[in-house]
Chains A and B, each alone.
Chain A
Amino acid sequence: MGKREIELRLNGVERRLEVEDQVLLIELVRGLGLVGTKLSCDTQVCGACTVLLDGRPVSSCTTLAIEADGKPVETIEGLADGTKLHPLQEAFIDRFAFQCGYCTPGMIVSAKALLEARPDPDAPAVRHWMEGNICRCSGYQTIVDAVLDAADRMRSAR
């Protein structure tokens, strides 16, 4: 098993790290204390481990850490600006869009990628985009409401 040095921009901070080839991206970020990213299904179907790699949502449970070499990586910890929450985070609170909260970091990160790709989605577009994220508590509708609400907030802020 080889080791190599990778450079990545993690939540806006340049990091140079030595990682073993087989280390997964989720192991890397959680190992660095960013434990907001959650492991659940381990098979790329639940979305709890979603992070943004080069702006795209990926399942960090099935992505090698070395694939992040030279790319920006954003986790749930990177969304808020200090104590100022991202509009998605505000909307998730206001819309009661979580219960246990275990899926929430992945949900919010997936939704951020959606709103960057489509700032003005309708409900079917949200449901379609978020199909890869599972929530066992909420019944989903409040999450759709929160994402649409966040889109509104982001539009009015522009």
Chain B
Amino acid sequence: MSAEHGGTTEHRVVGTSARRADGIAKVTGSARYAVDLSVPGMAHAVVVRSTRAHARIAGIERDAAAASPGVIRVLTGDDLLAAGLTPYYGHVVLDHPVLAIERVRFHGEPVALVIAETKREAAEAAELVEVAYEELPVVIDAHDALKPDAPNLHERRGERVGDEGMDEGEGGLATNICAIARVGWGGDIEDAFTKAHVVVEGEYRYPMLYGYAMEPYNALAFFDQGDLVVYSSAQHVYMVRRDLARMFHLPLARVRVSAPYVGGGYGTKSYTKVEGMTAAAACFTGRPVKLDLSVEEAILTTRSAAAHIRARSAFTKDGLLLARDFDIVMNSGAYTDNTPLVNSKTANRCFGPYRIPALRVLARSVFTNTVPSSSLRGFGAPQGNIAGELQMDEAAAKLGIDPVELRLRNLVGPGEEFMPGKRPLDADLKDDLRCLSAALEWPGATAGHSIGLGVSASDAGAYPTSTAAVRIHSDTSITLFTGSTELGQGSRTVLAQIVAEELGVPLESVSVINGDTGVVTYERTTGASRTTTITGRAVQEACRDARRRVRELAVQALSVSSGEIEDTAGGVRAKGKELSYGEVIEKWFGAGGEVLGHGAVRRAEGFAKMPPFYEIGCSGLELTVDRETGQVHVTKLTTVGDVGFAINPALVHGQDAGAAMMGMGAALHEELVYDGEQLANPNVVDYRVPRFSDIPDQLIHLLAERRDGSGPYGAKGAGEGAGNTIGSSVASALGRLFGVFPHQLPMTPERVWRLMREAKRE
């Protein structure tokens, strides 16, 4: 089933569900992930972790560990300082110690690193490292951390190193506020609330999550002729390169970070994780060192931010929004990491793509003695959506207006600005919503079943700096170089399709080299659904540049004027004669040779206005509830992938299905729980992610292709949107089923059962 709005007949390769380029490698077990790599002479590191949530380190006794069999070295943060390294990382604020220095700020923080000949020897010796702690007052809850008498986690803020597009928080913050963002317009919102026909007000909670990318964080580091080489599970190899160059005072050119296949990312592998520790181990031992974390350690490395949102929305009697007011507090953990961006995105993504005459948003992210939080798929959007979209449903119930109709009355149209000064909406969300509600057979007629749906438009956090290079070889085959990493999203396939389309060559003749800063061209990140849209444009430019160079060669080789040469599929035509790229290259060089094309995009022209595109969410589901147990069963799940143009429709469906299922996990099961100072469930037994039994009975993945994106052929980002509205959809479906809207996720069986009891009382 598909809602097609654009023809695809003018294209040959793009717009088709070409098989994945990594297919055979991944089904035969021959795909190599960083965790699979080893080099001769490799030693192994194991992390010693803090057993306190907040404490001063009084001393570290490591003699016993150092004397343990196989141990090469025991490293602490002080060793890094003494060696003159910069022992901190952070792409916005330089406050995250590679290994704790003087103080620990969360239970599980790396305190020391044991490097030994085998992992088993390192693990046994790690048990022998004795750390003496002087305990400090602990704060786990974000609201507690805002209190004046709360223990201060960072008396001095780290150096701000964030560059444009990343550093959106306010500077010079005191207390435990890590980042603060304010969005608003329309003057005095209180006036609007006074005049409103209906006001909806409530508090909403979004859980702390673990992304569970199945390959835990790992790295392999060594020095090669003074250059630092790191293979790791990183999404953003160029961001990690910058952190490592700073740490070791090396030029960027002398740090090589390579991510082979990555076993799941979803944002959780953005930015530096274990690379600094591993590189330090290699530096101090002179050996190649491998560090591969367990899942429990991965949970102690990065999580996503929990949100507590107080929200109010004011409506006219016709259901038009008058004003919205959001006060957001997020628990962002012990260090800054990506919090400023997550915080500002939550502020931008909570109120929805609606016409809102008056808006006030205050978002504060707060340091606590918990695992540092950072990126996770759609960040800010799922957190904000639980308040923003659920209030549309609650208002609809109060106003007696159909919730779909209420949204249609307020949604902005294509080309309409909904955030002043930002890019106008590049989507037709009203039409998307009509497609969605039709597919879900809204409002639904089956007794005991209930439908929830929602929309979102995320300002993609993708600063549009991207480059690409293509080499045309003498047999007309092509190598594409891109800094984008293959996380499973299918970038190698989609970017190869763009090359084949642009150069007019068979897809099979295109090879992609990616994700290695020592080889490929610069790419800012692999996140925020940017690759198809932004990298895809750089790839197009590289192909055009390569064609231009081939024409230049043809002018000289064939002794014709440039006006006499025209492009063909896979070559040029001159004076009625057709030559392939390879023939032109061989003619010009005499023997062998190649042509190199380079492409770059920046914040200019089509990408001048931020965001570079909106990531559209338009999903919904139908569910039933087991009245005895409170267990929710999803009978139908529908996504509308408003992607402008699906360069590979099967891959887009895969992104939508995966994002929606991840959304279901957060909506129904997933939550990291702090029991006192420690996580109660840092494992995949107690932290339950979706399984085969969670597949909805019916799945409908629609595509909306209106060629309205800023990327190649009108494409725009996919991969987050489908999941962003699932949490609010579950809550609104349950609310309509029982007459009481839940304000908290995940809606575990126990919470659903309590909701039913509450509904009976009312």
Q: Are B651 and A96 in contact (CB under 8 A)?
A: yes
Whether, in the assembled complex, A40 has its beta carbon less than 8 Å from a beta carbon of chain B, the answer is: yes
Partner pick for A48 among B27, B31, B214, B654, CB 8 A cutoff: B214
Known: A77-B28, A100-B488, A103-B214. A144 touches B692 (CB 8 A): yes
Q: Are A41 and B683 in contact (CB under 8 A)?
A: yes
Whether, in the assembled complex, A142 has its beta carbon less than 8 Å from a beta carbon of chain B, the answer is: yes
Among B245-253, B259-267, B456-464, B729-737, the one that faces the other chain is B259-267
Residue of B nearest to A101 (CB): B26
Known: A43-B685, A85-B27, A102-B264. A94 touches B658 (CB 8 A): no
Alpha-carbon distance A48/B489, docked complex (angstroms): 19
Chain B residue contacts of A59, Cβ below 8 A: none
Whether, in the assembled complex, B131 has its beta carbon less than 8 Å from a beta carbon of chain A, the answer is: no
- The number of chain B residues with a CB under 8 A from chain A is 56
Q: Are A100 and B214 in contact (CB under 8 A)?
A: yes
User: A23-70: which have CB < 8 Å to B?
Assistant: 30, 34-43, 45-46, 48
Chain B residue contacts of A89, Cβ below 8 A: 24, 27-28
Q: Mark B144-174, 1 if CB is under 8 A from A, else 0.
A: 0000000000000000000000000000000
Q: Are B294 and A139 in contact (CB under 8 A)?
A: no
Whether, in the assembled complex, B228 has its beta carbon less than 8 Å from a beta carbon of chain A, the answer is: no
Whether, in the assembled complex, B40 has its beta carbon less than 8 Å from a beta carbon of chain A, the answer is: no
Residue with the highest number of chain A CB atoms closer than 10 Å, among B24, B26, B216, B690? B26
Residue of B nearest to A108 (CB): B27
Q: Mark A81-120, 1 if CB is under 8 A from B, else 0.
A: 0000100110011101011111111001000000000000
Chain B residue contacts of A127, Cβ below 8 A: 692-693, 695
Residue of B nearest to A135 (CB): B214
Alpha-carbon distance A88/B26, docked complex (angstroms): 12
Q: Are B654 and A99 in contact (CB under 8 A)?
A: yes
Alpha-carbon distance A140/B699, docked complex (angstroms): 11
Alpha-carbon distance A143/B27, docked complex (angstroms): 12
Q: Are A40 and B692 in contact (CB under 8 A)?
A: no
Partner pick for B27 among A98, A128, A136, A141, CB 8 A cutoff: A98
Chain A residue contacts of B265, Cβ below 8 A: 100
Chain A residue contacts of B32, Cβ below 8 A: 35
Chain B residue contacts of A41, Cβ below 8 A: 295, 683-685
Known: A38-B214, A48-B214, A98-B27. A136 touches B264 (CB 8 A): yes
B interface, over-half SS? loop
Q: Are A34 and B683 in contact (CB under 8 A)?
A: no
Q: Mark B651-676, 1 if CB is under 8 A from A, else 0.
A: 10110011011100000000000000
A interface, over-half SS? loop
Residue of B nearest to A79 (CB): B28
Q: Are B654 and A36 in contact (CB under 8 A)?
A: no
Alpha-carbon distance A133/B689, docked complex (angstroms): 11
Known: A85-B28, A100-B213, A104-B27. A134 touches B691 (CB 8 A): yes
Q: Are B29 and A100 in contact (CB under 8 A)?
A: no
Alpha-carbon distance A140/B29, docked complex (angstroms): 19
Whether, in the assembled complex, B490 has its beta carbon less than 8 Å from a beta carbon of chain A, the answer is: yes
Shortest beta-carbon distance from A123 to chain B in Å: 9
Residue of A nearest to B688 (CB): A45
Known: A100-B265, A104-B26. A40 touches B214 (CB 8 A): yes
Q: How many A-B pairs fall under 8 Å by CB?
A: 157
Shortest beta-carbon distance from A73 to chain B in Å: 14
Residue of A nearest to B490 (CB): A99
Alpha-carbon distance A91/B240, docked complex (angstroms): 37
User: B163-216: which have CB < 8 Å to A?
Assistant: 211-216
Whether, in the assembled complex, B22 has its beta carbon less than 8 Å from a beta carbon of chain A, the answer is: yes
Partner pick for A98 among B26, B683, B694, CB 8 A cutoff: B26
Chain B residue contacts of A130, Cβ below 8 A: 692
Chain B residue contacts of A92, Cβ below 8 A: 23, 27
Partner pick for B264 among A75, A100, A140, A144, CB 8 A cutoff: A100
Chain A residue contacts of B650, Cβ below 8 A: 96
Whether, in the assembled complex, B36 has its beta carbon less than 8 Å from a beta carbon of chain A, the answer is: yes
Alpha-carbon distance A59/B272, docked complex (angstroms): 31
User: B473-497: which have CB < 8 Å to A?
Assistant: 487-490
Alpha-carbon distance A142/B699, docked complex (angstroms): 11
Q: Are A96 and B264 in contact (CB under 8 A)?
A: no
Alpha-carbon distance A30/B33, docked complex (angstroms): 13
Whether, in the assembled complex, B73 has its beta carbon less than 8 Å from a beta carbon of chain A, the answer is: no
Known: A40-B216, A75-B29. A101 touches B661 (CB 8 A): no
Alpha-carbon distance A43/B29, docked complex (angstroms): 21
Known: A36-B29, A40-B216. A101 touches B261 (CB 8 A): yes
17 contacts between A and B (CB under 8 A): A36-B29, A37-B29, A38-B33, A40-B295, A46-B684, A76-B29, A85-B24, A89-B24, A94-B19, A96-B17, A96-B651, A100-B264, A127-B692, A131-B692, A136-B266, A138-B657, A139-B695
Known: A37-B29, A45-B684. 10 other contacts (CB 8 A): A34-B29, A35-B32, A36-B29, A39-B35, A48-B214, A85-B28, A93-B20, A99-B654, A101-B488, A130-B692
Q: Which 4 A-B pairs have the closest CB atoms?
A: A36-B29, A100-B488, A102-B263, A99-B488
